[in-house]
Structure 1
Amino acid sequence: MKNITKAAAVLVVGGVACAGSAQAQDITVKPVAEARVRYEHVDQDGIAAKADALTVRVRGGAQATSGALSATVVAQGNLAVVDHYYDGVNGAATRPLVADPQNIALYIAQLQYKAKGVTLTAGRQKIALDDERFVGNVAFRDNAQTFDAVRAEVTPVKGLKLDVSYAWSVRTIWGIDGNAARQQAVGGDNLLANLSWETPLGVLTGFAYLVDQDEAAVQAFRLSSQTYGARFAGTHAFGKAVKLAYQASYARQSDWHRNPSDYSAEYWLADATLDVKGWKANAGYEVLGSDKGATLTSFQTPLGTNFKFQGWADKFLTTPANGVRDLYVGGGYGTKQIGAFSAVTLQATWHRFDSDRLDQHYGNEINLLASAKLRKTTIALRYAHYDAKTLATDTDKVWVQFDWAI
């Protein structure tokens, strides 16, 4: 009820503002329509049956704009056409997990004011900061992640940007049937602050993320944390055909709010990608540190788009008690057009996962991707193979995905 009241107040205030503006300016309405069809297959050691999930997700809504003001409402539904899988919230885990439960929801319901140097957004919205390591939309999952929040993005001078959000509810990927540790929404007083400065060599960002997972059912408050750090990311062109992209990040995390644990853990990342006429080579090293090896006292990222990091087999969505070190190398090719296909991408990445303490080799993983766009439809084929050593079990995953949007 508290969250509903806050959201209603935001919409009422914004609606009055929009109505007043509409008297002086025309209102333009832009439809929002998206569709996704995905097949996911999982073969996981330790579970006799395999998972086969064929899901269809649709989103529809509209954005009304009048001058600097806009209102956006988008609803979504997710249907399991083939449901031979454990969705995380319904039934028993007799098959591997595919985290796409059936769902119907209000995905976006936001009001926004946008003028030179300032953007203010209120309501249910997407928030994706930097590379989404700490705060993201989790767009790969059918239900994705949104925030009931107010957000201010301010650029007082060219090259300097302040981005601050207060979120009182995190709408999770688990949907309307979410329960126990996998709630439909997690309440709490989350403060997400980000200050960036564009330099000639790249963007330097300082951040403070106060994550309040204020639900006893969600790991007994042990995912509430305060994280402070900095990130630097940029590119350098050595000519028309050669480009180097680089990034480095460091952060320190400790317990916050009602978290009963007393811990601190470090994070750091170094990554570089060389692009020569569309051929790419990438290497990086990412560390999510540990404290003394107790459960959930390692560096955690409960609001991040974790599928993008540490392999697609999803073995490290929750950081192990002894932390994780991810050494990865990869390569690929990308081009704007091949025949009727645009945005063509081929990619392969190899990961070696080790603990941050006690010198454990968790396992290795290979990820493969082929994707392209045909008019308004994006087609993607993915494969992940996790070779377990001391953590989890051998796992193979295959995805075939079609995304369409107007």
Structure 2
Amino acid sequence: MIKQNGLKTINTASVLAASLVAFSPAVLAQDVTQAQSLKEAVTEGKVGLDLRYRYEYVDQNDVSKEANASTLRTRLNFATAPYKGFGAFVEFDDVTEIGGGKYNDATGLPSAHTDYAVVADPEGTEINQAYLSYAGVPDTGLKFGRQRIIYDNARFVGNVGWRQNEQTFDGFTVSNTSLSDTTLNYAYIYNVNRIFGEDSPKGDIDTDTHLVNLSYAGFDWLKITGYGYLLDFNDTPAGSNKTLGLRLTGEPALGENSNLIYALEYARQSDYADGENIGADYQLAELGINVSGVQLLGGYELLGADDSAFQTPYATGHAFNGWADKFLTTPADGLEDLYVQLSGSLFGVKLQAVYHDFSADEGSAHYGQELDLLAAKKFGDVTLLAKYARYEEDELFAETDKLWLMAQVAF
């Protein structure tokens, strides 16, 4: 393997990426007309620009200095028009700190300011995505290169989209919908580009990973998803593992303006390749009701600890177990998360409140509790957001307050 311009490659991958590598979701919906030549594929291509400014404040009791991070993410991309089923997409991200704030960017580099609380948004400019796509096979989409991958609710495979530097994957993916109401996704991944940036020692994961995700949505009240995720870590082989699971979800109607919401999920994690002493269960149960746009939902999530603690290294971890990000890595004794969520809108403002109660799977430790609050509103192409998290410790971690103010616009 070689590394060129921050993109790990195998054989001809660097050549493919350099030639502008498929479509973002927004572009895919528009590019229905095939270009008649390679020149037209380029000249009829589409440029996208996304700006996201965020201020993040963190006050953590066991860290001497509060973090104040003021960052701007600039995302520029280009998608060719499709030509004979082929497409090319390239996307660059730049994260810049503005305003002179100080924070620990979690990179592990000497410049990380480790005496400050963590805000994992390091500065830098990188290739975020770069891939070729092919859609010439009926009901099938193919991509090769650096790309965003999100399966289901991103609990096991996601892009960590909340952070300014997104998580993406180098490899090959295929999606097929040939069977009615059925979607089959497969991915082979040889490198994971993590949120810490390519200069960080934590910046990527060298892997031989196979992901299979199969879903059937032919029932009005039920979607069935089965998955197998086989992770072989080349740098930390003892942690290699496989996760096999089943997920059931649905939103059956109760009346004209109301419906139930439910999710049931079970997975088992065990040894894979050179993995050692890995064995743990994952369980999820959610039940809620939506009435005229107001949603009340309660849930229980278990990341067990049998031979080891259940881990989700490719997940969008921020979306689960509290926005204070205390449980991005599952504690050795596992994690039980009881939570209740209330969401809706008022005068066009999206509102959400979530309360978590955390405890250990093994033993009787009570980790703590957390309150998360969010308000967001769109003004045309501009989205404004305010978000707050307060974690109160009991027998693990330290009391933490986090506040975010964000503005985003896409062209």
Q: TM-score, normalised by structure 1?
A: 0.90
Name 2:320's counterpart in structure 1.
309
Name 1:34's counterpart in structure 2.
50
C-alpha separation between the residues in 2 aligned to 1:98 and 1:307?
12
Name 2:31's counterpart in structure 1.
none
1:70 equivalent in alignment to 2:84:
no
C-alpha separation between the residues in 1 aligned to 2:393 and 2:38?
64
CA contact (8 A) 2:105 2:113 kept: no
Equivalences for residues 64-143 of structure 1 within 5 A = 64-67=80-83, 68-81=85-98, 82-89=100-107, 90-114=111-135, 116-143=138-165
Name 2:336's counterpart in structure 1.
325
Q: Kindly provide the amino acid, as one letter, of the partner of residue 37 in structure 2.
A: Q
Equivalences for residues 197-236 of structure 1 within 5 A = 197-200=216-219, 201-215=221-235, 220-236=236-252
Q: 2:284 aligns with which of 261, 269, 276?
A: 269
Q: 1:8 aligns with which of 3, 8, 14?
A: 14
C-alpha separation between the residues in 2 aligned to 1:24 and 1:98?
43
Q: Kindly provide the amino acid, as one letter, of the partner of residue 196 in structure 2.
A: W
Equivalences for residues 137-286 of structure 1 within 5 A = 137-179=159-201, 182=202, 184-200=203-219, 201-215=221-235, 220-259=236-275, 261-286=276-301
Q: How far does residue 330 in structure 1 lie from its aligned partner after superposition?
A: 1.8
Helix, strand or coil at the partner of 1:311: coil
- Where does the alignment leave 5 or more consecutive residues of structure 2 unmatched? 3-7, 22-33
C-alpha separation between the residues in 2 aligned to 1:42 and 1:248?
34
Helix, strand or coil at the partner of 2:14: helix
Name 2:30's counterpart in structure 1.
none
Q: How far does residue 33 in structure 1 lie from its aligned partner after superposition?
A: 0.8
C-alpha separation between the residues in 2 aligned to 1:57 and 1:213?
30
CA contact (8 A) 2:102 2:113 kept: no
Q: 2:382 aligns with which of 369, 377, 394?
A: 377
Q: 1:386 to 1:9 in 2, by over 3 A?
A: same
Q: Kindly provide the amino acid, as one letter, of the partner of residue 126 in structure 1.
A: R
Q: How far does residue 280 in structure 1 lie from its aligned partner after superposition?
A: 1.3
Deviations 1:337-382 (A, max 9, x none): x4xx5xx310111100010011110000000000111111111111
Q: How far does residue 311 in structure 1 lie from its aligned partner after superposition?
A: 0.1
Deviates more, 1:77-86 or 1:368-377: 77-86
Q: TM-score, normalised by structure 2?
A: 0.89
Deviates more, 1:388-397 or 1:229-238: 229-238
C-alpha separation between the residues in 2 aligned to 1:110 and 1:51?
36
- Where does the alignment leave 5 or more consecutive residues of structure 1 unmatched? none
Q: 2:354 aligns with which of 326, 349, 354?
A: 349
Q: Kindly provide the amino acid, as one letter, of the partner of residue 121 in structure 1.
A: K
Helix, strand or coil at the partner of 1:175: coil
Give the root-mean-square deviation of aligned CA atoms: 2.0
C-alpha separation between the residues in 2 aligned to 1:177 and 1:80?
17
Q: 1:77 to 1:12 in 2, by over 3 A?
A: closer
C-alpha separation between the residues in 2 aligned to 1:29 and 1:321?
50
Q: Kindly provide the amino acid, as one letter, of the partner of residue 47 in structure 1.
A: V
Q: How far does residue 149 in structure 1 lie from its aligned partner after superposition?
A: 1.1
C-alpha separation between the residues in 2 aligned to 1:234 and 1:334?
22
C-alpha separation between the residues in 2 aligned to 1:169 and 1:382?
32
Percent identity over the alignment is 35
C-alpha separation between the residues in 1 aligned to 2:256 and 2:49?
37
CA contact (8 A) 2:369 2:393 kept: yes
Q: Which 4+ runs in 1 deviate beyond 6 A?
A: 12-15
CA contact (8 A) 2:88 2:132 kept: yes
Deviates more, 1:102-111 or 1:26-35: 26-35
Helix, strand or coil at the partner of 2:150: coil
Q: Kindly provide the amino acid, as one letter, of the partner of residue 134 in structure 2.
A: Y
Helix, strand or coil at the partner of 1:66: coil
Q: Kindly provide the amino acid, as one letter, of the partner of residue 122 in structure 1.
A: F
Q: How far does residue 160 in structure 1 lie from its aligned partner after superposition?
A: 1.3
Q: How far does residue 12 in structure 1 lie from its aligned partner after superposition?
A: 8.1
Helix, strand or coil at the partner of 2:80: strand
C-alpha separation between the residues in 1 aligned to 2:378 and 2:178?
38
CA contact (8 A) 2:91 2:130 kept: yes
